[in-house]
Amino acid sequence: MAIQKDRVRFNVGGKIFETTATTLAIAGRDSYFAAMFDDNWDLQPNPAGEYFIDRNPDCFAILLDLLRTGELYVPPNVPERLLYREALFYGLADHVRSAKWGRFDGNRLHLLKSITGRAPGDGTAIRASSEGGCCVAHGSMVHIYDWMLEEHPPINLDYQRVNDAGWVGPVDPNGLVISTCERLGRGQGGMGLFNSTTGELRYKFSVTHENVVKSYTAGALCFNDGYNLFSSCKGRSNEYGIGVWDQNTGQQVDFFYEPPGWSLGDADKLQWLNGSNCLLVATLFPRKDNCYISLLDFRSKSMVWSWSDMWSPANSDDRRVRDAIAMEENGSICVVNEFEDLGFMDLRRDSGSVRWSSRSRIMKGKMPDEPCYPKLALHEGQLFSSMNDCISVFCGSDWVLTSRLKRSFGGSICDFSIGGDRLFALHSEENVFDVWETPPPSIV
Amino acid sequence: MSSQKKKNFQIEAFKHRVVVDPKYADRTWKILEHAIHEIYNHNASGLSFEELYRNAYNMVLHKFGEKLYSGLVSTMTLHLKQIAASVEASQGSLFLEELNRNWAEHTKALQMIRDILMYMDRTFIPSTRKTPVHELGLNLWRDNIIRASNIQTRLKETLLETVQKERNGEVINRSLMRNIVKMLMDLGPSVYQQDFEKPFLDVSGNFYRGESQQFIECCDCGNYLKKAEKRLNEEIERVSNYLDAQSEVKITNVVEKEMIESQMTRLVHMENSGLVNMIVDDKYDDLGRIYNLFRRVPNGLMLIRDVMNSHIRETGKQLVTDPERVKDPVEFVQRLLDEKAKHDKIVNLAFNSDKTFQNALNSSFEYFINLNVRSPEFISLFVDDKLRRGLKGASEEDVEIILDKVMVLFRYLQEKDVFEKYYKQHLAKRLLSGRSVSEDAERSLILKLKTECGYQFTSKLEGMFTDMKTSHDTMQGFYEAMGRALANGPILSVQVLTTGSWPTQSIPACNLPHEILTVCERFKTYYLGTHNGRRLTWQTNMGSADIKATFSGGKKHELNVSTYQMCVLMLFNNVDQLSYKEIEQAVEIPTVELKRCLQSLACAKGKNVLRKEPMSKDVSENDSFFFNDSFSSKLYKVKIGTVVAQKESEPEKQETRQRVEEDRKPQIEAAIVRIMKARRVLDHNNIVAEVTKQLQSRFLANPIVIKKRIESLIEREFLERDREDRKLYRYLA
């Protein structure tokens, strides 16, 4: 090479770029540049001292700048899709993704875009993946979007209604578990693990009762760190309760049968608590009887904490609990009622009462025609609650309202999810979902 | 749920795909296949990386990933089959080298193939859950080369043979071994374990089993251990040279099991060279070796400890029960100390100061020292000896060292109160006769006893020192007060001893000579005049006197005698001859004491200021005594010791014993009351257990005595028996 040993000259699609080996080294071992300059190849530049690459020069300029500065600047004339494709070619997709948006902060979120779905009105669930993509379940379909918000082939569940979906997580970024209703008489339904890029079914999770495989309806889903998958199950006879499977093998490893008078199989929300090795099970939209929230310890097969509105007066706030979330660090469970009042229960005391926070109840009485009940989420000490077309962010030990995320159309929000440093909110009316993200850190 | 997918859901609505020329895929693959061949044939310099990467990218982009992947598998397999053939064909010792060379080339080629197929590795493989390129290359190598039927066994045997050669002392190519072993590890831990480690451990086990048999037949214990240690170190070195670090534990386990554990008992008990011989001969190196080797096997140290323990107990028992040894207490204790020092040194030098060994040593010493009931007395005598003369001229540090050693023995004593009793007696003698070498040493020992047994244990001993000091002051005060009045009389030095602190006996005072009596009476008046409400009793049995005597030819001597002796000698101021009866009447000294005193005055050679008729060793009641005018001595000052057995005589011993038992009673009672006060209700067995525990630091309480004390307390209504359960006692507040 000419003057400096470190200097590298590229000819990309006819345009000359000069950079240094040090800059290229930032791309990492799994990149085009690392492979290219592998000693084994003993690569020689052409007589002009250049290395030719038959790719788009504009994108190369952006990516080279990303390697130099760690920041991503995409000029308006370059479509993002084009840039992503080129990044994939060079093995820089991860660099682009991590430079594109910043670390999640509920108080600094900006609306990236709103994506319109196909069938309006029956959105069930939206689930963020750890990489910044998401899946949207509505009816018997699950639509998959990757972090570039490219839609992948949807997964069709053969006209079974989808109840919940969940990403397996970083160990298997493509793994998506979908729970559906049982179809009577055919032994179908239940739950399966799908490959989100190809839409192929890897295996089904079956429920076995006394060595007989039973058909069942799978409800809410939840994963824990130990590669276990939990789901609320409703079977034909005895199979009411919480099933546990090994997510790597698909084998059923445990089943927590529903105690009499306590509704587990109907649970709408499951949450694994790492610290106490327990599962929070909340049944909040029962058909006839009461609401139940309980913590299950699977090792001792016991209910270590429980609450029910059974004993609450008919018109109290307790009767209208619509979502619950355990906050282990605070040792409490947060609940929300249909007017978006937050209530708290002490986890350390059994069957305690709900302490409702004294937030203003301006929302009361302004119920939209088709109400969507509030939902809760917790992310790194920030509490999120959705109500109508708006998501509120609460922070601090007293859960002060700090931000509101609102978009004026699409109707009320039926579900939202945080993951991969993004927040996804699904609207019920038009099946539109919003993607919120934190901008990259400022330059200085 | 259905796995059947509705294909019509992903129809062209989303993507307009250009139909690619079907031959395009084949053409592109040909290029890549050619490149892979060239890479394996070392012809890569003619290839364009950019073009190959782009081609592989295009194949994946146009959904020919599957074709690309399966093409890669078959092409690579083809090459590996060729390599396998060439490895198989290699002759004898070249086998490993050929394998190693091909492995190096394969890894290099694999790296380059991965470079050009990187896009597939990144996108196609994860989404289809296929094996990544690098791992695929390793798996194919494993299946086609390492586990090929003609190679697998040969490789294993060659490796094991090479290790065996090295064990036999031959020089082998270690770097080649290292490379091959590293290859097995790169292929995954299971390959290393299955194809090498397991057979290696099996073969090693057989080898060492045989070798240990051979060694044990022809070596003594020390040599055997040296050999075992050498083998062990060799294996550890081998692991660090060319095996996986995790094999170290496994192979050393094999050596330990075969060479040590299986021969353990035989080694320890080996005749003439076993553990006991090593201990007796202070073979620190051998002992250190046996410790370090046996530590590695389960129960190894326990075996050493047990054998050492029983050896120490055995020799210790002999030591303390040998009637010859018991004759001289100082010698006896010195032997104990030597024995302790010897074993301490062994534990420290050879056994790594292992706590469990120290404990075992302590328990053994405790065991045999207490076998002899006179141990407390002897230890106190030893201290007495040291403090009276033994320490003369010794530096402060030396004194401390000796005292510390004594304290170690003291700790072993179960009957510490017996020791206290004797110590008090001996200390009293030392103090009263002014024989103690160093007050610092005395105080230092008391401080040590205090830290060991608490304030209570030494308070009386300390009281003795205080008495000495006050007496000194009192005497000064007395003589100042008297002034000239006493100038011509004998000089009196009175030690005022607090009752209880001193081992005083209520022996009636003897008849003091008139001269002395006057001074004594004056002192008594003086003392009682300055201190109210006190009572003084003379302890004439404990005093001493210096008297001047003139013998024939005007030879003058100063005689250092006891008070009793003085009384006897003063009688001869007026007469030359007295019968035993006359003396006894005149002085009123208890018979035993008088006999002893006369014996020392008349029978001791060179000290016989009296003459006895008839001449004999013992004093009988019909003897007559004369002033020995012809007494002569080279010294001006003559010390006439009392014929006191240093050790206690049998009846004295009984008496001391009895006093100790008496003293224990209140202590046991106090302990019972303390415990019952806290527990209110307790059954008999538990009381006994707790009392024993509480008093452990002083003595071992006898359960029968405890029972008696309980009964006595019941009589005195401190306790009562439970009305329903007679085994229970209740505390009565």
**Same domain, yes or no: A159 and A94:** no
**Chain B environment of A88 (Cβ under 8 Å):** 119, 122-123
Higher pLDDT, B526 or B438: B526
**Same domain, yes or no: A88 and A122:** no
Residue A202, in any domain of the structure: yes
Q: Work out the average pLDDT over A333-349.
A: 84
pLDDT at B646 over 70: no
Residue B609's pLDDT band (boundaries 50, 70, 90)? confident
Interchain CB distance below 8 Å, A40 and B53: no
Task: Give me the residues of A, 136-175, that contact B with CB < 8 A.
Answer: 141, 151, 153-158, 160, 173-174
Q: What angle do CA A394, A396, A401 make, to 5 degrees?
A: 30
**Same domain, yes or no: A157 and A190:** yes
- Out of A100, A118, A145, pick the residue that ends a domain: A100
Give the best residue of A32, A56, A157 to mutate against chain B (max B CB count within 10 A): A32
Residue A126, in any domain of the structure: yes
Helix (H, G, I), strand (E, B) or coil at B20: coil
The closest CB to that of A156, out of B5, B45, B116, belongs to B5
Distance from the Cα of B79 to chain A's closest Cα (Å) equals: 19
Query: What mean pLDDT, rounded, does chain A reach?
Result: 84
Q: Work out the average pLDDT over A392-421.
A: 87
Q: What is the pLDDT of residue B618?
A: 77
Look-up: residue for tokens 């209740």?
A: B730
Q: Work out the average pLDDT over B633-661.
A: 73
**pLDDT tens digit string along B343-388?**
999 999 988 888 999 999 999 999 998 888 888 888 888 888 888 8
Contacts of range A284-290, beta carbons closer than 8 Å, 24 or more positions apart: A284/A321, A284/A322, A284/A323, A284/A324, A285/A322, A285/A373, A289/A263, A290/A263
A396 in reach of chain B (CB within 8 A) = no
**Chain A environment of B14 (Cβ under 8 Å):** 151, 153
Residue A392's nearest CA partner among A375, A380, A409 is A375
Interchain CB distance below 8 Å, B127 and A198: yes
Chain A residue at shortest CA distance from B58 = A89
> Beta-carbon neighbour count of residue B472 at 10 Å?
12
Q: What is the pLDDT of residue B12?
A: 46
Distance from the Cα of A258 to chain B's closest Cα (Å) equals: 24
Q: Work out the average pLDDT over B450-471.
A: 84
Local structure of residue B499 (DSSP, 8 states): B
Question: What percent of chain B lies above the pLDDT cut of 70?
Answer: 95
Residue B722's pLDDT band (boundaries 50, 70, 90)? confident
**Chain B environment of A53 (Cβ under 8 Å):** 50
Give the best residue of A31, A40, A92, A150 to mutate against chain B (max B CB count within 10 A): A40
A54 in reach of chain B (CB within 8 A) = yes
Interchain CB distance below 8 Å, A160 and B45: no
Chain A residue at shortest CA distance from B119 = A89
Q: What is the pLDDT of residue A186?
A: 63
**Chain B environment of A38 (Cβ under 8 Å):** 111-112, 115
**Same domain, yes or no: A75 and A154:** no
Look-up: residue for tokens 């074709």?
A: B67
- Out of A100, A132, A156, pick the residue that ends a domain: A100
Q: Which residues pair with A234 in a beta bridge?
A: A217
Contact present, A354 and A300 (Cβ < 8 Å): no
pTM for the whole thing? Answer: 0.68
**Same domain, yes or no: A163 and A76:** no
A87 in reach of chain B (CB within 8 A) = no
Q: Considering its fold, how many domains does chain A have in total?
A: 2
**Same domain, yes or no: A18 and A160:** no
Distance from the Cα of B112 to chain A's closest Cα (Å) equals: 7
**In angstroms, what CA-CA distances link B341 with B304, B337, B444, B652?**
19, 6, 22, 33
Distance from the Cα of A286 to chain B's closest Cα (Å) equals: 24
Give the best residue of B2, B7, B42, B61 to mutate against chain A (max A CB count within 10 A): B2
- Residues with Cβ within 8 Å of A258's Cβ and at least 6 positions away in sequence, in order, are A240, A241, A264, A265
Q: What DSSP assignment string belongs to B612-648?
A: EES--SS--TT-EEEE-TT---SSSEEE------SSP
Residue A2, in any domain of the structure: no
Chain B residue at shortest CA distance from A181 = B1
Q: What is the pLDDT of residue A311?
A: 72
Q: What is the pLDDT of residue B680?
A: 86
Interchain CB distance below 8 Å, A199 and B10: yes
Q: What is the pLDDT of residue B14?
A: 47
Q: Packing angle between helix A80-90 and helix A57-69, nearest 10 degrees?
A: 70
Residue A1, in any domain of the structure: no
Q: What is the pLDDT of residue B11?
A: 43
The closest CB to that of B118, out of A30, A52, A156, belongs to A30
Interchain CB distance below 8 Å, A88 and B9: no
Q: Work out the average pLDDT over B625-631.
A: 83
Q: Work out the average pLDDT over B34-46.
A: 88
Q: How far apart are CA A58 and CA B109, in angstroms?
A: 34
Q: Which of A66-70, B87-91, B415-419 has the highest mean pLDDT?
A: A66-70
pLDDT at B7 over 50: no
The closest CB to that of B1, out of A53, A173, A204, belongs to A204
Q: What is the pLDDT of residue B391?
A: 62
**Domains of chain B, each with CATH number or no CATH:** 23-145 (1.20.1310.10), 150-298 (1.20.1310.10), 303-459 (1.20.1310.10), 467-530 (no CATH), 544-639 (3.30.230.130), 652-731 (1.10.10.10)
Task: Give me the residues of A, 88-127, that contact B with CB < 8 A.
Answer: 88-89, 91
**Same domain, yes or no: A292 and A146:** yes
pLDDT at B313 over 70: yes
A30 in reach of chain B (CB within 8 A) = yes
Helix (H, G, I), strand (E, B) or coil at B15: coil
Distance from the Cα of A388 to chain B's closest Cα (Å) equals: 32
The closest CB to that of A35, out of B9, B47, B115, belongs to B115
Give, for B201, the enclosing helix (H) or strand (E): helix B198-218
What residue numbers bound the domain in which A24 lies? 7-100
Residue B642's pLDDT band (boundaries 50, 70, 90)? low
Residue A433, in any domain of the structure: yes
**Same domain, yes or no: A66 and A179:** no
Residue A105, in any domain of the structure: no
A77 in reach of chain B (CB within 8 A) = no
pLDDT at A287 over 60: no
Give the best residue of A145, A156, A164, A193 to mutate against chain B (max B CB count within 10 A): A156
Q: What is the pLDDT of residue A60?
A: 95
Q: How far apart are CA B214 and CA B368, in angstroms?
A: 40
Interchain CB distance below 8 Å, B112 and A173: no
Interchain CB distance below 8 Å, A40 and B111: yes
**pLDDT tens digit string along B13-29?**
445 555 667 788 899 99
Residue B283's nearest CA partner among B219, B232, B345 is B345
Residue A358's pLDDT band (boundaries 50, 70, 90)? low
pLDDT at B414 over 60: yes
The closest CB to that of A174, out of B116, B121, B126, belongs to B126
Q: Which of A55-64, A226-235, B279-288 has the highest mean pLDDT?
A: A55-64
Chain B residue at shortest CA distance from A87 = B119
**Same domain, yes or no: A120 and A235:** yes
**pLDDT tens digit string along B185-201?**
999 889 999 999 999 99
**Chain B environment of A90 (Cβ under 8 Å):** none
Query: Domain holding A44: CATH number?
Result: 3.30.710.10
pLDDT at A289 over 90: no
A:B CB pairs within 8 Å = 89
Pairing of strands A51-53, A7-12: parallel
Query: Domain holding A346: CATH number?
Result: 2.130.10.10
**Same domain, yes or no: A284 and A309:** yes
**Same domain, yes or no: A60 and A131:** no
Pairing of strands A217-223, A422-427: unpaired
Q: Work out the average pLDDT over A388-406.
A: 88
Q: How far apart are CA B92 and CA B98, in angstroms?
A: 10
- Out of A100, A119, A140, pick the residue that ends a domain: A100
Helix (H, G, I), strand (E, B) or coil at A60: helix
Distance from the Cα of A234 to chain B's closest Cα (Å) equals: 15
**Same domain, yes or no: A69 and A136:** no
Cβ-based interface (< 8 Å): residues of B facing A: 1-6, 9-10, 14, 44-45, 47, 49-50, 53-54, 57, 108, 111-112, 114-116, 118-119, 121-123, 126-129
Contact present, A198 and B129 (Cβ < 8 Å): no
Residue A192, in any domain of the structure: yes
The closest CB to that of B2, out of A157, A173, A197, belongs to A157
Interchain CB distance below 8 Å, B44 and A160: no
A187 in reach of chain B (CB within 8 A) = no
Residue A288's pLDDT band (boundaries 50, 70, 90)? low
Q: What is the pLDDT of residue A222?
A: 92
Helix (H, G, I), strand (E, B) or coil at A50: coil
A344 in reach of chain B (CB within 8 A) = no
> Beta-carbon neighbour count of residue A27 at 10 Å?
20
Interchain CB distance below 8 Å, A36 and B108: no
Interchain CB distance below 8 Å, B119 and A89: yes
Chain A residue at shortest CA distance from B124 = A197
pLDDT at B664 over 70: yes
Distance from the Cα of A194 to chain B's closest Cα (Å) equals: 9
Least reliable range by pLDDT among B145-149, B641-645, B700-704: B641-645
Residue A242, in any domain of the structure: yes
**Chain B environment of A174 (Cβ under 8 Å):** 126-127
Interchain CB distance below 8 Å, B118 and A189: no
